[in-house]
A and B are shown apart, each in its own frame.
Chain A
Amino acid sequence: MNRQNSERLLALAKEILDQEKKAKDLYEEYIEKIKDTSTIEVLRRILEDEKAHIKLASEVLGTIQHGSTYTRLRDGLDRLSETNSILISCGIENYLKVNTIVLKYLVNEKGSNCIYVAINKPCSSLIETFKRESIDTNKLSFVECATVSTESKEAILVKPDNLTDVTMSISRLIEKTPGRKFVYMDALSTLYIFNPGNVVERFAHHLISSTKLKKTGLILVSVKEEIEEKSMAVLTTFCDKKIEV
């Protein structure tokens, strides 16, 4: 789609989303003020529609911004529960887009807390990117698998070849994080650079079981270009669902 068209549609979709949010606030206010019960009943029905419209408008906005990747991801993410694990297999060109879509949806829209395991990038640079994308970074806590940094204010630092430390740090943050939460590993496939394949797969298997026990959702991202087919097949059998983007 040409840039001008896309920008115009994006602006209109944003306006629609804002108006739907305003409508929801208005109906909530009316329900508080009006006394007639039959009127309240009708207004409540309209209010439920307005809530659904906010969801629809934000889906439309995401689809215009990110194309069909967005719809596929969002449909898959709707099935993430407290005891579910999802494997997202993406090409390198979609990798950053996937991070943004997942966090915007699960953190901003659904209000979940996220334990972000950063393997590819230092979390200081991730935080900067997420803030630019208006992702609520207060709901994120980080385990950073750093190869260079020795200290960080924002994250627990561990070495990517010490998977026992990675597991323990994730467990510690799960315990510390209140409410609905999920672990997001970006990107599991990079661990194959630092560890033998069977060790990474044992680690993934353990992580899937332990997050299930702790009633915490798990999302593992794997970049297609970084992983062999055989390893991808193994990971797919471990996880409850796989999303290809």
Chain B
Amino acid sequence: MLTEALSFEEITISRRLLTFLRELRDSDMDAMTRIEIERKIGRMLEESISHSKMITHMLKKVMKSEQAEF
């Protein structure tokens, strides 16, 4: 379960957010709107990275104790 969550956060979500940010920066959207969207997507990306770290930490703990969650 936790490995699935980790791959979801690291691969699926974070990658899509990064692609979005790259395309947004290359677009000709007006500056005010772009900044507003960048701020929101940036926050989502930061939190997604932090989720990956939290899940990795939990996985390490689970591996040590050999619990079923792994």
In the assembled complex, B30 has its CB within 8 A of some CB on chain A:
yes
The contact size tier of chain B is 35 or more
Given contacts A2-B28, A56-B40, A56-B44, contact A49 B20 (CB under 8 A): no
Do the beta carbons of A16 and B16 come within 8 Å of each other? Answer: yes
Chain B stretch 28-64: residues in CB contact (< 8 A) with chain A: 28-30, 32-33, 36-37, 40-41, 43-44, 47-48, 51, 54-55, 58, 62
Q: How many residues of A contact B (CB 8 A)?
A: 35
Q: Is the interface of A mostly helix, strand, loop or mixed?
A: helix
A30-B1, A53-B47, A67-B33 known; A39 vs B16 contact (CB < 8 Å): no
CA distance A45 to B54 in the complex (A): 10
Q: Which residues of B contact A162 (CB under 8 A)?
A: none
Chain B residues lying within 8 Å of A39, measured Cβ to Cβ, are: 2, 58, 62, 69
Interface 1/0s, chain A 39-71, versus B by CB < 8 A? 100100110010001001101100110011001
Contact B37 A64 (CB under 8 A): yes
Is A9 within 8 A of B24, CB to CB? yes
Chain B residue contacts of A68, Cβ below 8 A: 30, 32-33
Residues of A within 8 A of B44 (CB): 16, 20, 53, 56-57
Query: Can you show 7 pairs from A to B with CB atoms below 8 A apart?
Result: A16-B16, A19-B12, A30-B1, A56-B41, A60-B37, A67-B33, A68-B30
State the B residues within 8 Å of A (CB): 1-2, 4-5, 8-9, 12-13, 16-17, 19-20, 23-24, 27-30, 32-33, 36-37, 40-41, 43-44, 47-48, 51, 54-55, 58, 62, 67, 69
